[in-house]
Amino acid sequence: MKSRKTRPRKRGQNRKWVIAGSILLSIAVLLTATFVWFPSKTPANNTADEPEGLKMLADHYMTVMRNLNSTQTKTAMASLLNPNYNQTDLFGWEQTKLTFANDPNGFFEDPAQILRSGDGICVQWSEVYVSACLALGYQSRLVAAVDTSTWSYIHVWAEDYYNGTWVHVDPSDRVWNNPARYQTWDWGSAIGLTVRVYAFEDNAYHDVTSSYSAK
């Protein structure tokens, strides 16, 4: 009698282990498929062996770019613009809206706030310009010369995707497509050495130092 009672119990226990094993196997398969089909998105050039200071700088400017590229910001900016403007028109338009100030009314990073303040430094001029371009459907991104000893920016400008290539645009310096411009500045000789140049989009950043270093 004991053996008859024991056998069904063992079969029930075995059945439970089989079911549990099947569930675990299914979970493992699903996790593997998720990793293969939906890999994690890592920003370009943002690898584990890069300095933490660079990653923090890049995260900040990619966040700024996400705001500039958001529907809300683009809608607000588009309401201030002539829809027929091209990139060079926008370059001229900004000159009528802002003045350069080393000590601006506020260190804003939202383009509407910057325009209301009426002034700004290089980074704010560049944010307004990039935002205006994005609002009218043009590809544009922020670019920064970076001191690699502190991972802080030295100067900020923009790049437009124009006639099939990325073109240098510096709104605060009022210069269009002159990437050699900075080689005469006090930090220009260090480009490619202790100064690196990075372009920031809303989900990636790229080392574009070679476009601005002496050939």
- 45 in a domain, yes or no? no
What average pLDDT does the segment 136-144 reach?
98
Residues 157 and 173: beta-carbon distance below 8 Å: yes
- Asked whether residue 44 is domain-assigned, the answer is no
For residue 56, pLDDT over 50 is answered with yes
Per the structure, how many domains does the chain have?
Answer: 2
Average pLDDT over every residue of 68-85: 97
Q: Which residues neighbour 166 within 8 Å (Cβ) at sequence distance 6 or greater?
A: 141, 159, 160, 199, 208, 211
Q: Is residue 204 part of a domain?
A: yes
In terms of domains, do 57 and 124 share one? yes
Q: Could you tell me the pLDDT band of residue 14, with boundaries at 50, 70 and 90?
A: low
CATH number of the CATH domain containing 174 = 3.10.620.30
Residue 188 CA to its chain's centroid (Å): 24
Q: Are strands 99-100 and 119-120 parallel, antiparallel or unpaired?
A: parallel
Residue with tokens 């338009």: 93
Distance of alpha carbon 103 from alpha carbon 92, whole angstroms: 23
d(CA 117, CA 98) in angstroms, rounded, equals 8
**52-66 burial by CB neighbour count: b if 16+ within 10 A, else e?**
eebbebbeebbebbe
Q: Give this prediction's pTM.
A: 0.77
Distance CA 182, CA 44 (A): 25
Segments forming the whole domain that contains residue 59: 50-211
> Using CA atoms, how far apart are residues 102 and 65, in angstroms rounded to an integer?
23
Measured CA to CA, the distance from residue 126 to residue 144 in angstroms comes to 10
> Residues 58-67: pLDDT tens digits?
999 999 999 9
If asked whether residues 64 and 134 sit together in one domain, one would say yes
- Work out the widest C-alpha separation in the chain, in whole angstroms: 99
Q: What is the mean pLDDT of the chain?
A: 84
Say yes or no to pLDDT of 9 above 80.
no
- Give yes or no: residues 87 and 172 share one domain: yes
Size (the chain), residues: 215
pLDDT of residue 43: 45
Specify the higher pLDDT residue, 29 or 178: 178
Same domain, residue pair 166 and 125: yes
Nearest to 190 by CA among 139, 165, 154, 142: 154
How does pLDDT run across 197-209, given as a tens digit for each residue?
Answer: 999 999 999 999 9
* Angstrom distance (rounded) from CA 175 to CA 111: 20
Could you tell me where the DSSP H helices lie in the chain?
Answer: 2-37, 52-68, 71-78, 87-95, 111-117, 122-135
Same domain, 117 and 21: no
Whether residues 110 and 159 fall in one domain: yes
Q: Does 49 score more than 50 pLDDT?
A: yes
For residues 87 and 160, what is the distance between their CA atoms, to the nearest angstrom? Answer: 8
**What percent of the chain is predicted at pLDDT more than 70?**
77
Q: Is residue 162 part of a domain?
A: yes
